[in-house]
């Protein structure tokens, strides 16, 4: 498989990239982002691009891919609805429209969040915007489109958030998340499981377009059974 990853420098994206690079049936990974990942691997090619809203200058290298894992997103901190919508709706939809044109046989997986509102009516701004994004992506003419809605996520293998407050949270909450994951594994996902689940969804599909925490966990378990 040939896979595109956006958001590979974020906490989830780091884990997804790691799983892609460590999986035998992935031949090439192309990362696209505003900054480089700092990684070096025979399978990895990086495109550093300042304006992700305009990929027209690189369309010649964006075709022939089997999947795109869109892990890029921002929190509501300090953003009004217009700003949040631009980054968490307009950007993923713009990128996906370009990729659908170039790779109609691609599977597109978008990392959303638990609590997103597909009805687009929530009083919670981020849930409403994320739901609108999900709906727009599911309408695009890909071979398959999947929405992943993780909740609590435990980073593994050195993955870390870019945000200082989030890094502090995981430093403090790490032991609790480890315990909770062992007691109730369907409540907490790891960055490793999210990456594994994405690869399974590309290979053999998922049961539904929208995948909640338990669905992502089930997909990751299939990866473990595969070995």
pLDDT at 21: 97
The two structure tokens encoding residue 76? 């509501």
Per-residue pLDDT of the chain (227 residues; tens, 9 = 90+): 999 999 999 999 999 999 999 999 999 999 999 999 999 999 999 999 999 999 999 999 999 999 999 999 998 888 999 999 999 999 999 999 999 999 999 999 999 999 999 999 999 999 999 999 999 999 999 999 999 999 988 888 888 777 766 677 767 767 777 787 777 777 889 999 999 999 999 999 999 999 999 999 999 999 877 66
CA neighbor of 129 nearest in space, from 188, 80, 170 = 80
Distance CA 211, CA 209 (A): 6
Q: Can you list the domains of the chain with their CATH numbers?
A: 2-226 (3.40.50.720)
Q: What is the pTM of this model?
A: 0.93
pLDDT at 185: 74
Residue 41, phi-psi category: left (phi > 0), alpha (psi -120 to 50), beta (remainder): beta
pLDDT at 165: 63
The two structure tokens encoding residue 56? 């027209």
Report the DSSP beta bridge partners of residue 26.
Answer: none
For residues 179-212, one letter each, b for 16 or more C-beta atoms within 10 angstroms of the residue's C-beta and e for the rest, the string is eebeeeeeebbbbbbbbbbbbbbbbeebeeebbb
């Amino acid at each position: 498989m040939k896979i595109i990853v956006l958001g590979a420098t974020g906490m989830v994206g780091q884990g997804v990239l790691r799983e892609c690079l460590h999986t035998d049936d992935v031949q090439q990974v192309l990362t696209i982002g505003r900054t480089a990942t700092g990684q070096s691997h025979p399978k990895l090619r990086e495109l550093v691009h300042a304006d992700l809203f305009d990929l027209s200058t690189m369309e010649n290298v964006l075709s022939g891919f089997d999947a795109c894992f869109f892990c890029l997103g921002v929190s509501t901190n300090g953003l009004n609805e217009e700003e949040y919508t631009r980054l968490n709706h307009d950007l993923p939809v713009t990128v996906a429209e370009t990729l659908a044109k170039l790779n109609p046989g691609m599977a597109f997986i978008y990392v959303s969040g638990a609590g997103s509102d597909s009805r687009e009516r929530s009083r919670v701004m981020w849930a409403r915007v994320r739901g609108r994004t999900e709906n727009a992506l599911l309408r695009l003419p890909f071979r398959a489109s999947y929405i992943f809605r993780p909740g609590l996520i435990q980073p593994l293998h050195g993955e870390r958030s870019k945000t200082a407050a989030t890094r502090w949270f995981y430093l403090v909450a790490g032991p609790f998340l480890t315990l909770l994951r062992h007691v109730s594994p369907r409540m907490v996902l790891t960055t490793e499981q999210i990456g594994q689940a994405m690869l399974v969804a590309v290979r053999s599909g998922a049961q539904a377009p929208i995948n909640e925490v338990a669905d992502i966990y089930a997909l990751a378990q299939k990866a473990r059974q595969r070995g």
